[in-house]
Structure 1
Amino acid sequence: MATTGRGGGWSASLRRGNAVACRAMDTDQLRSRIHEDMPRVVDELSRLVAIPSIGYDGYDPANVRASAELTRDILRHAGVGADLLEIEGGHPAVFGSVPGPADRPTVLLYAHHDVQPAADPDAWTMPPFTPTVTGGRLYGRGAADDKSGIVIHAAALRAVRADGPLPCSVKVIVEGEEECSTQHLPELVRGHGDLLRSDVAVIADGGNYRTGVPTIGTSIRGATHVTVRVDVLPIAQHSGVFGGPLPDAIMALSRMLASLHDDEGELTIDGLHGFPWPGTQVPEDEFRDESRVFPEIELLGTGTIADRTLSKAAINILAFEAPRVDEVANQIVPTARAVVGLRMAPGEDYAGAVDRLAAHLRAAAPWGVRVQIDTEEPGAGYIVDPTTSAYRSARAALATAFDRKVVEMGSGGSIPLVPMLAETFPGIEVLIWGAGDHRSNFHSIDESVDIEDLERMAVAEALFLQSFEDADR
């Protein structure tokens, strides 16, 4: 019997076990519909990619609003009653719903419409906000992460609704601040609990292990960052007159940052959580090839690649602020800042890990320099339950859509909304998948998505939604 309206998970079993509960003719029809719909899907994604919806401070917020409005319109044209969900002091999300039978589960479809900055646009082979299709891929910022998720949801809903009403209730939430901040996430999720309450959440912000290899996500890491500032002087001073006795801020901050790892690259912060990764392993040669690291570079830390990317903490310096090289002057630099990124293993005491990082940096500060550390509320990690009915059905849908065995794999990335959904709606069954792959260059130059995988993911999601037709009442 389905559990609906309480966010308590879907307890129904499928009559066909792990098989997708739909007839072969239905599967062929869905494939055909979505294939014929792909010119529209690519056009929708291209129009989304053309909007530089960067949510960070210093970028035009009108672009994020324009992206939200286009997302709303795309969902409306897919039959979803969608509108903007305004967030006070933040960027708008988009929410919509399609009611289904009262005795069937409610499925929440998630994506986000904000994107990372393009960083150095001149380094891109193609302009980041000029969507370009070549070699079977669509290039542009957000093509994979995560505007592809929006068009997957729309395409799947159009395909299933062509046969009549949906076999389950569907809600759609498309976040507008996933990349830039978790500040307003509690308001979005907890503050709109009645709107978002669902039995199953389909998070279309994952990706496939390789092009054409269907992958269902099994975990995500927690994430946050701290901003550390070092001051040694109220103003810059002449390095010839005062250099020698006086330390400079860059020197001090560099020593603090270097103290975060030992000579083998292991983190030196005591008490961070980690565990041996029990699932699919990642060969080192594949990791090196995918990352494009120079061959002479040594990899940091110990344990398997999967341990180090999925189930152990990791720290990287995300930004460093000091005078630029082309602004060099013979002076003692008075102030320097850095942003330190922290990825945390699932199951970590996330707030405690941030405190330990901040305490370590303060203790490592040399020569009595002044230190200021600003923190943000950390996003938690999450481990997906692979025993749920929704997980089994989703895995079967992927296998059918891609016509090959499904890889079950964790992600070193973070989706802060997921653990908050699980906390707010105990028992909700979470699925993580997406159209990105090892060539998508998430957060880097030349981001792209494979168009055939985009189509296959839409088929998989349509099959998953259609499977509720044969769920036991």
Structure 2
Amino acid sequence: MATTQSLLDAAVALAQTRRKADLDDLIEELRIPSISTLPERREDCLRNARWLGDRFDAMGMKTQIVDVVEGGLPVVIADWQGRPGKPHLTMYGHYDVQPVDPVDGWKSPPFEPAVHGGELWARGAADNKGNHMACVKAAEHLHAAGGLPINVRFVIEGEEEITGPSLPRYLRAHGADLKTDTVLIWDSGMDEDGRPTLATALRGLLYTELRAKGPAVDLHSGTFGGVAPNPINTLARVIGELKDRHGHVTIPGFYDAVRPPSAEELAAWKKNDARYVQNMRRMTGAKALEGEEDFLAVERTGSRPTLDANGFIGGFTGKGAKTVIPAEASAKVSMRLVPDQDWQAILPAFKRRVSELTTPGVEISVEVIGSAPPVTCGVDHNAARVLRAAYKEAFGSETALIRVGGSIPVAVDFQEAVGAPLVISGITQADSAIHSPNEHLVIDNYHRGIEAVIRFICGLAE
């Protein structure tokens, strides 16, 4: 049997010689428009799941495409248990992607991958197909070089972008059968300075839809203007007053459970905050950053909770004129939560605040679209040290410890149901435009990411 070092050397050499094939395979997956939130793309999502299953089958893995929830999207599970007594690694990713709107904002068609200046442009390139394909390719190269040196499981879901129930339910139901030594959640990326990262925390999520109802039908704004309740006016006022001009959320008790960052974290953030502000202005294209002025910018994006409107619909929005007072309006509002905040405690306070702010003629209902608790994860364990060493070899850079501003809903289910240490990282650059037009991935990051995962897997075998 080959030694771990010889396997590593052979797999890295294969990755170097097969760079074009590795990129072509990623491009092939990116052509699948697996948008989970659109019912008309369901068959594409199922096709993507089968596409991944075929790759795992080719490595001799025991592959299952598991339907957990009726009408949901399946979870792809692939197991290789060929090293009895050796460590076990679970690798997570998701094959679903975000919608592409606005389509006219794309420089090239979102599902016709294109290379621009060393970057691969396509929906899903960064979130999450570039990430999970780096893991898949690492396993393929180790398989071709003589066999994986540890036991491996892939868990790739199709409902991450819609906070779907399939994978959480599967983990909760089968946690005892999914024991592992480490869970690699490969759904993050580099920091603003281009350094590899390791997450110490993820923000949670409370995502809601507000529906405002006023008159029974749309009304003429001349005949009824001045007496008829206007759901757009009221809903706009409610959203505006949920957060003041200084970025402070006005829901009573919203900040009560917020765990402050450590003195060590604050000291590190202060050293880098000016550069962070410059990078954020560059990436956002904004004239100025906003938010709570009493907190550092880097602190506001990782260790402070937020509230933001994500969409607003109401009245006549077509071309031309139609002066109506609408009968209904709706808006989507999300809150990103930090460690020790509980979305189930915040939800009733949010509903009460919305009720307080509405006007007498408008009723506003609140529906929860998605939720996830915040997650903290330690980095003082063997798997974290092995990944940092792998990054050092593959990227030539030290790893930055960060709090991730986004949410990975299933992270807490892995943590509670499976019980293994989480390692949360990834290879997408900070300005990859995930969820936006012109999403892209630095191609060199993809190839170096494949090498980093090869080194990580081999490092866990030692």
1:264 is the counterpart of 2:246: yes
2:13 paired residue number: 32
Q: What's the offset of the Cα at 1:316?
A: 1.2
Task: Indicate if the aligned counterparts of 2:92 and 2:184 stay in contact, CA closer than 8 A.
Answer: yes
1:198 is the counterpart of 2:180: yes
Task: Pick from 373, 386, 389 the counterpart of residue 382 of structure 2.
Answer: 389
1:325 is the counterpart of 2:306: no
Deviates more, 1:156-165 or 1:299-308: 156-165
Task: Pick from 334, 356, 363 the counterpart of residue 356 of structure 2.
Answer: 363
Q: How many Å separate the matches in 2 of 1:58 and 1:244?
A: 41
1:216 is the counterpart of 2:209: no
SS of the residue 2:125 aligns to: coil
SS of the residue 2:77 aligns to: strand
**Structure 1 residues 59 and 318, CA, compared in 2 at 3 Å: closer, same or farther?**
farther
Q: What's the offset of the Cα at 1:350?
A: 2.2
Task: Indicate if the aligned counterparts of 1:211 and 1:453 stay in contact, CA closer than 8 A.
Answer: no
1:228 is the counterpart of 2:213: no
List alignment gaps of at least 5 residues for structure 1: 1-20
**Structure 1 residues 452 and 376, CA, compared in 2 at 3 Å: closer, same or farther?**
same
**Structure 1 residues 62 and 389, CA, compared in 2 at 3 Å: closer, same or farther?**
same
Q: How many Å separate the matches in 2 of 1:219 and 1:22?
A: 32
List alignment gaps of at least 5 residues for structure 2: none
**Structure 1 residues 145 and 252, CA, compared in 2 at 3 Å: closer, same or farther?**
same
2:432 paired residue number: 440
**Structure 1 residues 79 and 355, CA, compared in 2 at 3 Å: closer, same or farther?**
farther
**Structure 1 residues 461 and 443, CA, compared in 2 at 3 Å: closer, same or farther?**
same
Q: How many Å separate the matches in 2 of 1:387 and 1:298?
A: 34
1:382-411 C-alpha deviation (Å, 9 max, x unpaired): 112111111111111111111221212121
Q: How many Å separate the matches in 2 of 1:36 and 1:210?
A: 30
Task: Indicate if the aligned counterparts of 1:55 and 1:180 stay in contact, CA closer than 8 A.
Answer: yes
Q: How many Å separate the matches in 1 of 2:459 and 2:165?
A: 36
Q: How many Å separate the matches in 2 of 1:313 and 1:210?
A: 20
1:360-383 C-alpha deviation (Å, 9 max, x unpaired): 112211224212111145211211
SS of the residue 1:410 aligns to: strand
1:249 paired residue number: 231
Q: What's the offset of the Cα at 1:232?
A: 0.9
Q: How many Å separate the matches in 1 of 2:78 and 2:177?
A: 9
Letter aligned with residue 120 of structure 1 = P
Task: Indicate if the aligned counterparts of 2:192 and 2:279 stay in contact, CA closer than 8 A.
Answer: no
2:44 paired residue number: 63
SS of the residue 2:138 aligns to: helix
1:11 paired residue number: none
2:119 paired residue number: 137
1:82-119 C-alpha deviation (Å, 9 max, x unpaired): 23111322111211011133322221011100000001
Letter aligned with residue 464 of structure 1 = F
1:140-173 C-alpha deviation (Å, 9 max, x unpaired): 0000100112211221112222343322211100
1:314 paired residue number: 306
Task: Pick from 340, 345, 348 the counterpart of residue 352 of structure 1.
Answer: 345
Q: What's the offset of the Cα at 1:134?
A: 2.3
2:71 paired residue number: 89
1:299 paired residue number: 290
1:239 is the counterpart of 2:221: yes
**Structure 1 residues 210 and 155, CA, compared in 2 at 3 Å: closer, same or farther?**
farther
Q: How many Å separate the matches in 1 of 2:87 and 2:283?
A: 39
Q: How many Å separate the matches in 1 of 2:442 and 2:342?
A: 37
Task: Indicate if the aligned counterparts of 2:259 and 2:340 stay in contact, CA closer than 8 A.
Answer: no
Task: Indicate if the aligned counterparts of 2:7 and 2:146 stay in contact, CA closer than 8 A.
Answer: no
SS of the residue 1:60 aligns to: helix
Identity %: 27
Task: Pick from 325, 334, 342 the counterpart of residue 341 of structure 1.
Answer: 334
1:405-434 C-alpha deviation (Å, 9 max, x unpaired): 1212121011011111111123x1111111
1:403 paired residue number: 396
Q: TM-score, normalised by structure 2?
A: 0.91
**Structure 1 residues 78 and 215, CA, compared in 2 at 3 Å: closer, same or farther?**
farther
Q: How many Å separate the matches in 2 of 1:321 and 1:75?
A: 43
Q: How many Å separate the matches in 1 of 2:307 and 2:194?
A: 31
Q: TM-score, normalised by structure 1?
A: 0.89
Q: How many Å separate the matches in 2 of 1:260 and 1:395?
A: 41
Q: How many Å separate the matches in 1 of 2:280 and 2:347?
A: 28
Q: Please show how residues 40-189 of structure 1 align to structure 2 within 5 Å.
A: 40-87=21-68, 88-189=70-171
Q: How many Å separate the matches in 2 of 1:450 and 1:54?
A: 22
1:331-372 C-alpha deviation (Å, 9 max, x unpaired): 221110111011101221121122222221122112242121
**Structure 1 residues 460 and 135, CA, compared in 2 at 3 Å: closer, same or farther?**
same
Task: Pick from 427, 444, 465 the counterpart of residue 457 of structure 2.
Answer: 465
2:258 paired residue number: 274
Q: What's the offset of the Cα at 1:206?
A: 0.7
Q: How many Å separate the matches in 2 of 1:36 and 1:154?
A: 17
1:36-62 C-alpha deviation (Å, 9 max, x unpaired): 222222111111111111111443211
SS of the residue 1:119 aligns to: coil
